[in-house]
Amino acid sequence: MTPRPLLLLVLLLAAPAQSAISHRPSAISVDSISVTHTFGEQMIFTLAAHSDAEITQATLLLRVGADSRTEVIGADLFPAPQIETQVTLDLQTQPIAPFADVFYSWRIADSSSETITTPEQTYLYEDNRFQWETVARGAVRAHWHSGDLAFGQSVADIGYESLNRASRLMDTSPPDQVDIYVYERLDDLQSGLRLGGRDWVAGHADPSLGVVLVNSYADTAALLELENTLAHELTHVLIYQIVQAGYDRMPVWLDEGIAVNSEPRPNAIFGDALTRAVETEAIIPLESLCGAFSIDSSRAILSYAESASLVRYIRDRWGPGAIRDLLTAYREGATCEGGLQRVLKVSFVELQTGWESDVLRASPLAAFLREAMPYVFVFGPVAVILAALLFAPKRKT
């Protein structure tokens, strides 16, 4: 007897198995993927994987919020069939906007030239210094960390009303979702934002994320103030919806001017700042308001005041459609002055001169009429009807 036929049979059985191995899609398997972060400090991405061959490369592909750029970060590892590795982001040198969604996947390669890319995952960069509670109304989700459900619901209600009112004012539809985070202490809000000295910031919108951060607490006066803050910040979100990719380059005076004018109660501090600046001839040139406002608080307040007054002036002189046309021009990439020339047919200097003579240095009566004109239109007919009813000759019955 000879063993040869048996050996041949073994070889024949082994052959199909060999070919199945070479055709399978990948020998690399992912064992676990995880992310953790310490707010404002670091974010750690961890990967564990194994393969039939040595894993030689693990690369993190990372995108933050509405950013179109994908970062490619190689992880340190010793080639081995089984690996565990990490990528750590230093959030002090490379900050991420609070409550941004982080989108990531891993690309893994082994020595047999196999590669796999894991499906994209989403991780919320939450301010995890606090335990957040959430309640929703319409498109608004209110998150708070201090106070009871009644407080959280008040925030959601105020946010809902503010968003609808601002949408009507801007003649645009509300976004599908807006997240409002309420900090009990202003310090906590500011420390998360890396404001670079802008400690006058009391509210913040990240319009591309649909995220608004505000400071408030369960108190009647604070909730009244919240109506103004939310109207202002949610207006930024709506302006972003209209201007889209042009938002970062659009004039700050237009963005802030529209937002201040959507606040339901006028802030006296702005009127005072304008009056003082006219008296001391300290009006900031319009050209300087195209970019970020000053770190200095009194100059920042004057910047807001001028922006709001300019937007009212443009609305009065050119009509509300002009504001919408300006936003369209900036969405299409117009420069700060280019947008004015295209829509209003004026230069910086011409707009500034007209505004100063018609508004800032106008006679008190002219200024009063200009400010009161919208109310005359709204309430004028009502007043005429009331007068007719009150003073009409009465018949004796």
What residues make contact with Zn ion under the rule CB under 5 A?
256, 259
Minimum CB distance to Zn ion, residue 229 (Å): 9
Nearest to 247, CA basis, from 187, 207, 209: 207
Cβ 140 to Zn ion shortest distance, Å = 18
- Of 140 and 234, which CB lies nearer to Zn ion in the complex structure? 234
Closest CA relative to residue 183, chosen from 192, 195, 175: 192
Q: How far apart are CA 9 and CA 250, in angstroms?
A: 77
- Between 163 and 259, name the residue whose CB sits nearer to Zn ion: 259
| Distance between CA atoms of residues 75 and 163, nearest Å | 44
SS in 3 state form for 175-219? CCCEEEEEECCHHHHHHHHCCCCCCCCCEEEECCCCEEEEECCCC
Give CA separation, 174 vs 96, 139, 161, 223, 240, in Å.
26, 8, 11, 22, 11
CB of 252 to Zn ion, least distance (A): 9
Smallest separation (angstroms) from Zn ion to the CB of 203: 7
Whole-number Å distance between alpha carbons of 56 and 110: 5
Cβ proximity to Zn ion, 110 vs 256, nearer residue: 256
Lookup: tokens for 86: 């990490």
Q: How many residues does the chain have?
A: 397
Q: Which residue, judged by CB position, is nearest to Zn ion in the bound state?
A: 259
Question: What's the distance, Cα to Cα, between the start and end of the chain in Å?
Answer: 137
| Residue closer to Zn ion (CB basis): 60 or 327 | 327
Q: Which is nearer to Zn ion, 116 or 308 (CB)?
A: 308
**What single DSSP character describes residue 186?**
H
Characterise 38 by phi-psi region: left (phi > 0), alpha (psi -120 to 50), beta (else). beta
How far does Cα 360 stand from its chain's mean position? 33
Please calculate the CA angle 354-358-315 and round it to the nearest 5 degrees: 80
**Shortest spacing between CB 232 and Zn ion, in angstroms:** 5
Closer Cβ to Zn ion, 89 or 231, answer by number: 231
Which distant-in-sequence residues (6+ apart) come within 8 Å of 333 by Cβ?
A: 246, 249
**Of the two residues 54 and 225, which places its CB atom closer to Zn ion in the complex?**
225
Q: Helices (DSSP H) in 196-279: which residue ranges?
A: 220-243, 252-261, 268-279
Q: Are 61 and 107 in contact (CB under 8 A)?
A: yes
Contact 24, 35 (CB under 8 A): no
* Inter-CA distances, 366 with 156, 356, 362, Å: 41, 13, 6
Residue 49 vs 239, nearer CB to Zn ion: 239
Name the residue type at position 297: S
Of the pair 59, 216, the CB lying nearest Zn ion is at 216
Residue with smaller CB distance to Zn ion, 108 or 234: 234
